[in-house]
Chains A and B, each alone.
Chain A
C-alpha cells in the first residue's frame, strides 16, 4: 500500500494539474480515456473538474460489461435457467440488463449463477459438481482473455467434460478504429489502456498517430499516473508530432507479454463481435479456436449467433449508452440519467459497472463542486 500511496501523493498531483493548465491552449484538448478503469479513477479522484477547461475528458468503450450485447446476456440468462447448467461469472456481469432481465434477476427466478473471482475457480466448481455443466462467461479485453485462455488449456489438460466457456472477449484496437472511422467525435489525444498494453505492448497503439494523427499516452490507473499521461499528451500537442508515449513504464513494455499473447493465439481465433452501442465489428472478438471447440459453450449448447439478436435492447427505452460508449454524449446529457436510470435501477449497461461512464458520473459527479 505504501507503494500505491506514492502515486496518490497530493502535492505531486497538484503540481501535475498546474503544469497541464499552464501548458494548455485556449481551445480545450479533447482526450478520450479508452478504459473504464480510467473513467472510474478520473471520477473517483475528481480529475475531470480539476483539469477543466484545459482538458476535456471523454469516456470510451473500454468497459467490458458495457459493450456486451443484450443478446449475449440473454443467452447467458437462458443457460443459467437450463436444468443441470451453472453459469459462473465475474461479479460485474450479474447486474447487466439483457432484453428482459439480468443474471441476478435470473438467479432470483431459480437460475444457477455463481460469482467467481477467477476463471480457475470455475474449474474448481466443475470438479466439485461433476453432475452439472459449468459455463464460464469469458468477458474482457486483452487483459482478461489470457487468464481465460489459460483456464481453457487447463480444462483440456484435465479432460474436464463438464466445463465450457461462453466467450464474449473483445479486442481494443478495432473498437478504437471504429470510433475514429465513424467520424462522430474529434479527438486530440487518447489515454491508452495500461493493463491492455501490459499484454499487447505499447507498440500495438502506434496505429493511432500513424493512421489517425492522434497521440496516445498509455497510462496506469493511479491519479498521478493519469495526470502524467495527460501532461504528456498536452506536451505532445505543443510539439506537433503525434506519437505513442509510454507513461506506464512500470507495467508496460514495447512488445508486451509474449507468454500471454502466445496463450491467446493458441486458444482463441479472431472473429467478428457484437458490441453494444457500436454494432458488429469485423475481427474484433475472440472465439475458441477449432482445436478447443469442445470447450466452446456456443457449440456445446448449440446456441444461435448473437448477431441475429438485439445488441442494445435499452436503446428503445431512450437509453443513450451507445453514444456514451462512442464518446459522443456525456452521461448527464442522457434524458434518463439520474431519473429513470440509476445504479440501483439501471436501464443501460453504462449505469451498471463501477467502470461504466454513467455509473461513475452518477456515483461521484452529480454537482459535488
Chain B
C-alpha cells in the first residue's frame, strides 16, 4: 500500500500522524527558532529581542457535540488557550476569538456558548480583546468552530519548557486521566452509565501559579490533551532527550472512566484531558509541589506517577499493575474501538 496523499482524520488525533504533518508540512516551510521548539506556547520578547517572558499561542476547537457534561465548546475554547499559556508558566492576559458559524445554528445555543466563554475567561483572569465572525452555509461546518489566541506573561526567572526534564526529576500528574475524552465519546455514542462521566475542562493557570510559588525551578509542564497522557509523556521524553518511567498503579483513573474505557476498548492513558497537567520537577521540591497541587481544587487528586532517568532518550516505560514492564508508546492514529 502506498502512503496516503490526503489528509486523514488520524492527522488530527495528536499522535504520530499529527507530528508527521507538523514536521513535514508546517515546520518545513514555516519553521524558525521559536516555532521549532514545538512548545504549547512560544516565549517572546515583544520588542523582538532574544529571550523574553511573554507567552503566545493559538488553538482551534471543533468538538462534537457542542454541549457535553462538564462544559461546552465555549468553555473549552478559553481553557485550551489559557492552559497552553500556563504550560510555559505564564498567566493569561489577553485573548482573541474567531467564530465560524454554520447557517442554521440556534442563536440561543450561541448565547450559551458565549456566556461560557465569558465565565471561563473571568475565572482565568483574562480579557477577550479582539474577535472575528464568519458564517458558512449549512453543511460546511458543524454548528460552530472557534479559534482562540492568547497572550500571557510568565514570572521573571521561570523557565518551564518541554525540553527541561533532567534525569533524577520526578513526574507528577494533577489528577485522574481520560475524563474529557470518554465524556465526549459516550455522549456522542449515546451510551449511558450509572455514574455520569464529566469533562474535566478547566483553566489551569491558578493551579500553575500555586505550583510556581512553592517550586519556581519547575522544569516541565504539559497538558495531556489529544493523544492523552501516554502521547504527552512521549513528547516530553523526546523533547528533553530522556527516558521516563511511570507506574500504572500510581496513575489515577476514575472507576467510571476505566469501566467506559473497558467497554469501548479505549485505553484512558490515550484519551484526551482538558483540565489536567503533567509536571516534571527536581526531586527536592516534589513533595512541596504535590502538597500545593492537592491544596488546589484542580489538583486534589494529584500524584507522583514516575521519574526521569537517562536511559534510552525518547522512551517511555510503564511498570504495569503486575510489576512487569512494557513500553508506553505514542498514539499512532485515531483511537478506534476494537471488534470483539
Contacts and interface: CB of A to CB of B under 8 A. Distances in A.
Interface residues of B, number: 41
Interface stretch (B6-14, B53-61, B101-109): B6-14
A65 B322 CA distance: 29
Interface residues of A, number: 62
A45 B324 contact: yes
B79 interface: no
A139 B323 contact: no
A101 B338 contact: no
A342 B189 contact: no
A111 B6 CA distance: 12
B333 A141 contact: no
Given A1-B258, A342-B332, A345-B3, A354 B322 contact: no
Interface string B1-40: 1111011111000011100100000000000000000000
A331 interface: no
A47 interface: yes
B168 interface: no
Interface stretch (A6-14, A19-27, A289-297): A6-14
Interface in B253-270: 255, 258-259, 262, 264-265
A10 B322 contact: yes
A105 B339 contact: no
Nearest to A195: B340
Contacts of B115: none
A108 B339 contact: no
B241 to A, nearest CB: 17
Nearest to B265: A354
A99 B1 CA distance: 6
A143 interface: yes
B17 A344 contact: yes
B284 interface: no
* Chain B binding surface, main DSSP class: loop
Contacts of B315: 368
Nearest to A102: B1
Nearest to B335: A91
Interface in A181-195: 195
Contacts of A109: 6
Contacts, number: 135
Interface stretch (A127-135, A201-209, A359-367): A359-367
B238 interface: no
Interface in A340-369: 342-347, 353-355, 362-369
Interface string A289-332: 00000000000000000000000011000000000000000000
B217 interface: no
B339 A64 contact: yes
A98 B6 CA distance: 16
Contacts of B333: 95, 104, 343-344
Contacts of B326: 43-46, 364-365, 368
A362 B336 contact: no
B317 to A, nearest CB: 5
A108 B338 contact: no
A314 B2 CA distance: 10
B6, B9, B20, B262 pick with most chain A CB within 10 angstroms: B6
Contact of A105 (B6, B329, B338): B6
Nearest to A91: B336
B190 to A, nearest CB: 9
Contact of B340 (A64, A94, A100, A102): A64
B340 to A, nearest CB: 4
A200 B78 CA distance: 53
B325 A368 contact: yes
A13 B264 CA distance: 25
B323 A14 contact: yes
B337 A342 contact: no
B324 A37 contact: no
B288 interface: no
Contacts of A141: 340
Interface string A66-96: 0000000000000000000000001111110
A49 interface: yes
B205 to A, nearest CB: 33
B338 A50 contact: no
A1 B255 contact: yes
Interface of B: 1-4, 6-10, 15-17, 20, 189, 255, 258-259, 262, 264-265, 312, 315, 317-318, 320-327, 329, 332-334, 336-340
Given A49-B324, A117-B189, 11 more contacts: A1-B259, A91-B337, A101-B2, A102-B1, A105-B4, A141-B340, A343-B16, A343-B333, A353-B338, A355-B339, A368-B315
7 contacts: A10-B321, A43-B326, A91-B338, A92-B339, A140-B339, A365-B326, A367-B327
Q: Pick the 4 closest A-B CB pairs, nearest first.
A: A46-B324, A91-B336, A343-B332, A108-B6
